[in-house]
Amino acid sequence: MNFDFSDDQKFLRDEARKFLEAQCTSAHVRAVLDDDGMSHNDEVWQKIVEMGWLGAAIPEEYGGLGLGMLELCVIAEELGRVLAPVPFGSSAYFFAETIKLAGSDEQKAEWLPKVADGSIVGCLATTEGPGALSASNVHTTAKDGVLSGTKVPVTDGDIATHAVVLAKEGSGAGLYVVALDQDGVSRTSLKTIEPTRSHAEITFNNASATRLVPQEGNGLKPYEGNGMVLLEQIMDRAAVLLAFEQLGGASRCLEMATDYAKERHAFGRPIGGNQAIKHKLADIYVKNEVARSNAYYGAWALSTDAAELPEAAAAARVAASEAFWFASKENIQTHGGMGFTWEVDCHLYYRRAKLLAVQAGSPAVWKEKLVSALETKNAA
Amino acid sequence: MDFTDTTEEAAFRAEANAFLSQHLEPKKAAAIRSGRREDYLQRAKDWQKVKAENRFAQITWPKEIGGRGGSPMQQVIWNQEESKFDAPIGPFAIGLGMCVPTVIAFGSDDHKKRYVQKALFGEEIWCQLFSEPAAGSDVAGLKTKAVKDGDDWVINGQKVWTSGAHYSDYGILLVRTDPDVPKHKGLTMFIVDMKQEGVDVRPIHQASGGSEFNEVYFTDVRIPDSDRLGEPGMGWKVALVTLMNERLAVGGSPGPDWAEIMDYARSSGSMSDQAFRAKLADWYVAAQGYKLTKFRTQTALSKGETPGPENSIGKVITANHLQDICNSAIEMQDHYGIISDKDKAPADAIFQESFMWAPGLRIAGGTDEILKNIIAERVLGLPQDVRVDKDKPFSAF
Ligand SMILES: Cc1cc2nc3c(=O)[nH]c(=O)nc-3n(C[C@H](O)[C@H](O)[C@H](O)COP(=O)(O)OP(=O)(O)OC[C@H]3O[C@@H](n4cnc5c(N)ncnc54)[C@H](O)[C@@H]3O)c2cc1C
């Protein structure tokens, strides 16, 4: 039994934390928050690109560092702690992981090196309207390499150079890579509750698109024109990475709330001396530990391609969504009036917590996935 | 990250499993109830003896005192394997988990010779006499007093909620020896013979219907000074060692879990209820989170680190969920859910029985509130609660 990250991975975490604390401060995040025209912090982004983190889990033959999924998890947690205002997740967890899973060797060779060196930025475009994603609410169509329809919202859709787009094809659905700088694509930025990450509405009007064709024998279920099946697997992988970002955010909220509870005095002593506050913070701690353990299990399943991945990913995502939501709202409450001001960072975590909770399917969707997986497993 | 056993761990697991299969039946869901069977105590003593003879009792204890001299990891593996079988271990949990380790830590060589072997081989059972009617969460506020008389101490007072006192041979007893100093400073710990004159054990009828715990009255009970554990006035320090072991020992959920309610929901058609499915996901995530947190603790143990405060989260999670799961299972049965007759109720009334037991689980071994205080103060470093009696003599209150 060795249910922990290795010393090398812990070293990477410490280095990443030091780097981000210096290079991605609250001021960097706020620069994006306070400027409507700013989609992300390019200064921070360029430094992250230089660190090579985008290629952490991309094989060396495709220009990556070839470290592995556990290392990507470690980085994700640190990016989550500082609310990095950059399209890292879109490019690394969604775009690159999709190409890794669903692309042919040629497709991998075409895009992965460019993701790794930052010369392209990818995103994933699936949603078209309110409600959980299903085959029946995808209206974007693809035929003979031409794609039309509207995706909204697309996280990082106005920064990205390329998108993986889910589209109807015949009676099924397929995944397509679309270059976003072509004539057939128009995009507008959206106002959202989380302005430190940009979102766009993207309309495709006979845009030229490349269908992803997975190589046989990489552990994938048969593709058979059903992009929804493929998407499930992509989401399972992304869910674990997002869970680490959420965990990073939730841990930071607990630290902020605990520090404030020790400093702020009322009725002649620190507010953290009162049980209503102490027990609230203990509750955050318990939820965070539950989330951390589930996230570690997800990381293990992800890094070993274990058969347990679907339920491990779902459990990680459910636990992390709950932990970050709870920690972010109670962090504001613990800060009192200060917590509700623009100047204090609490609301940034509250915003990010909600984005991450719905970005790859809401907690209700993942609870349902989890229970279905348990049902299938226990039927055997 | 790696969930597989090392070669040595796998070998030990196989050895443990072979031994267990030779002596016990695999656990069935309903075996949770076996605690109430008439012959349970005798079965428990027999099993303890077999374990001790084969050095599977108290794996980490040194060989000289009858243990295996094994690693904490081996103890964890043993516990995991033993829990798959219908092992009657209840009556020894408090003695071997908390009392005897306290005797080992603070007792004389004579004490160790006299008591440890017998407890280990299941010949003598121990109980923990801390709580009193006016001192539960605030254990140090206890009033049972000991007065020195020659070479003896004379004990008078009352303990309460003493689990297993009715079948125990010995107990560790925390009493007040000096009321004129602040409460934590005037306590002393003793070993007490539960069968001696002046010790009166009266079963308490529990809310759940059973009688696992007792009131214990002490009237002019004499304890020789040689049966003192630690110096006079040092009882709190001794008690903390017991309580620390208690927090390690408690935490598992002895009752139906997410898997059992899922089984039941499938047979009863409730799996189509969306609200139920969402709750089931939450229970799974919490149970899995706690299980995996223990794996993290084990990893730390196997690297030679001391277990951290992760353990206090176990009880907060599991006791609450047990209560919640049983509540849902009953509501799922609608009006029929109140029936606790094993022959008529689905799943042998396991849910009804645990529903009635769960409130006690949230209190025993420290209430949810006290455990959250521990997390807040010792893990997060928040200020201690206001303790108005802290620096004043106990007799002033
Ligand atoms: C099944 C069972 C078995 C037990 N076995 C044993 C045993 O073998 N030996 C033994 O010595 N004891 C035993 N106990 C006693 C147990 O340790 C106490 O019941 C427990 O510590 C609570 O004390 P109390 O019952 O006096 O409740 P109280 O301390 O009176 O608590 C009442 C309520 O007040 C809350 N409260 C108290 N202090 C605080 C505080 N500072 N902050 C916030 N809330 C607070 C509690 O959380 C609780 O909700 C057992 C109890 C049970 C239920």
Nearest Cα of chain A lies from the Cα of B93 at a distance, in angstroms, of 26
Work out the pLDDT band at A277, boundaries 50, 70, 90: very high
Ligand 1 pocket mutation pick from B126, B127, B137 by most atoms within 8 angstroms of CB: B137
Does A371 fall in a domain? yes
Q: Do A241 and A369 belong together in one domain?
A: yes
Does A1 fall in a domain? no
Using CB atoms, pick whichever of B73, B277, B377 lies closest to residue A368: B277
Q: Do A242 and A209 belong together in one domain?
A: no
Work out the pLDDT band at A190, boundaries 50, 70, 90: very high
Last residue of a domain, one of A116, A137, A161: A116
Q: Does residue A222 have a pLDDT over 70?
A: no
pLDDT value, residue B122: 96
Closest CA to B49 of B126, B122, B125, B124: B122
Q: Do A234 and A219 belong together in one domain?
A: no
pLDDT by residue, tens only, chain B of 397 residues: 888 888 999 999 999 999 999 999 987 654 444 445 568 899 999 999 999 999 999 998 999 889 999 987 888 889 889 988 989 998 999 999 999 999 999 999 999 999 999 999 999 999 999 999 999 999 999 999 999 999 999 999 999 999 999 999 999 999 999 999 999 999 999 999 999 999 999 999 999 888 899 999 999 999 999 999 999 999 999 999 998 877 666 555 578 999 999 999 999 999 999 999 999 999 999 999 998 998 888 888 778 777 666 678 888 999 999 999 999 999 999 999 999 999 999 888 999 999 999 999 999 989 999 999 999 999 999 999 998 998 899 998 8
Do residues B375 and A286 make contact, with C-beta atoms less than 8 angstroms apart? Answer: yes
Among A123-132, A319-328, A361-370, B38-47, the minimum mean pLDDT is found in B38-47
The whole-number average pLDDT for the span A57-64 is 98
Q: How far is the CA of B383 from the centre of ligand 1 (A)?
A: 22
Do residues A295 and A76 make contact, with C-beta atoms less than 8 angstroms apart? Answer: no
Helix (H) or strand (E) holding A174: strand A172-179
Instruction: Inspect the interface and report whether the beta carbons of A272 and B382 lie closer than 8 Å.
Output: yes
Using CB atoms, pick whichever of B262, B280, B310 lies closest to residue A289: B310
Q: Which of A72, A293, A362 is best to mutate for the B interface (most B CBs within 10 A)?
A: A293
pLDDT value, residue B390: 85
Instruction: Inspect the interface and report whether the beta carbons of A315 and B284 lie closer than 8 Å.
Output: yes
Instruction: Inspect the interface and report whether the beta carbons of B295 and A70 lie closer than 8 Å.
Output: no
Mean model confidence pLDDT for chain A: 95
Instruction: Inspect the interface and report whether the beta carbons of A273 and B385 lie closer than 8 Å.
Output: yes
Q: Does residue A55 have a pLDDT over 50?
A: yes
* Domain extent at residue A23: 7-116
CATH number of the domain residue A198 falls in: 2.40.110.10
pLDDT value, residue B250: 55
CA dist., res. A306 & res. A239, Å (int): 15
For residue A292, which residues of chain B lie inside 8 Å, CB to CB? 293
For residue B284, which residues of chain A lie inside 8 Å, CB to CB? 315, 370-371, 374
Instruction: Inspect the interface and report whether the beta carbons of B382 and A293 lie closer than 8 Å.
Output: no
Q: Does residue A110 have a pLDDT over 70?
A: yes
Does A90 fall in a domain? yes
Q: Do A320 and A182 belong together in one domain?
A: no
Do residues B73 and B298 make contact, with C-beta atoms less than 8 angstroms apart? Answer: yes
CA dist., res. A110 & res. B30, Å (int): 59
Q: Do A76 and A129 belong together in one domain?
A: no
Instruction: Inspect the interface and report whether the beta carbons of A2 and B369 lie closer than 8 Å.
Output: no
pLDDT digits (tens, 9 = 90+) for B336-357: 999 999 999 988 899 999 999 9
Using CB atoms, pick whichever of B2, B278, B310 lies closest to residue A2: B2
Q: How far is the CA of A257 from the centre of ligand 1 (A)?
A: 29
Q: Does residue A217 have a pLDDT over 60?
A: no
Work out the pLDDT band at A224, boundaries 50, 70, 90: low
Among A264-278, A343-357, B88-102, the minimum mean pLDDT is found in B88-102
Q: Do A369 and A241 belong together in one domain?
A: yes
Q: Which residues line ligand 1 (CB under 6 A)?
A: A 275; B 94, 127-131, 136-137, 161-163, 213, 360, 363-364, 366-367, 369-370, 385
CA dist., res. B172 & res. B190, Å (int): 6
Instruction: Inspect the interface and report whether the beta carbons of B298 and A3 lie closer than 8 Å.
Output: yes
Write the DSSP symbol of residue B6.
P
Q: Do A59 and A134 belong together in one domain?
A: no
Among A25-29, A264-268, B344-348, the minimum mean pLDDT is found in B344-348
Atom of ligand 1 nearest to the CA of B139: 21
Q: Do A236 and A374 belong together in one domain?
A: yes
Half-sphere exposure of A7 (CA within 13 A, CB side): 1
The whole-number average pLDDT for the span A150-166 is 98
Last residue of a domain, one of A166, A195, A223: A223
Q: How far is the CA of B133 from the centre of ligand 1 (A)?
A: 10
CATH number of the domain residue A87 falls in: 1.10.540.10
Interchain CB contact of A275 with B (< 8 Å): yes
Q: Do A187 and A295 belong together in one domain?
A: no
Last residue of a domain, one of A91, A116, A141: A116
Q: Do A84 and A138 belong together in one domain?
A: no
Does A2 fall in a domain? no
CA dist., res. A243 & res. A314, Å (int): 10
DSSP string, B204-252: ---TTS---EEEEEEEEEEEEGGGEESSTT-HHHHHHHHHHHHHHH--S
Helix (H) or strand (E) holding A290: helix A275-304
Nearest Cα of chain B lies from the Cα of A163 at a distance, in angstroms, of 32
Q: Is the dihedral of CA B68, B73, B74, B78 positive or negative?
A: positive
Q: How many domains does chain A divide into?
A: 3
Interchain CB contact of A294 with B (< 8 Å): yes
Interchain CB contact of A272 with B (< 8 Å): yes
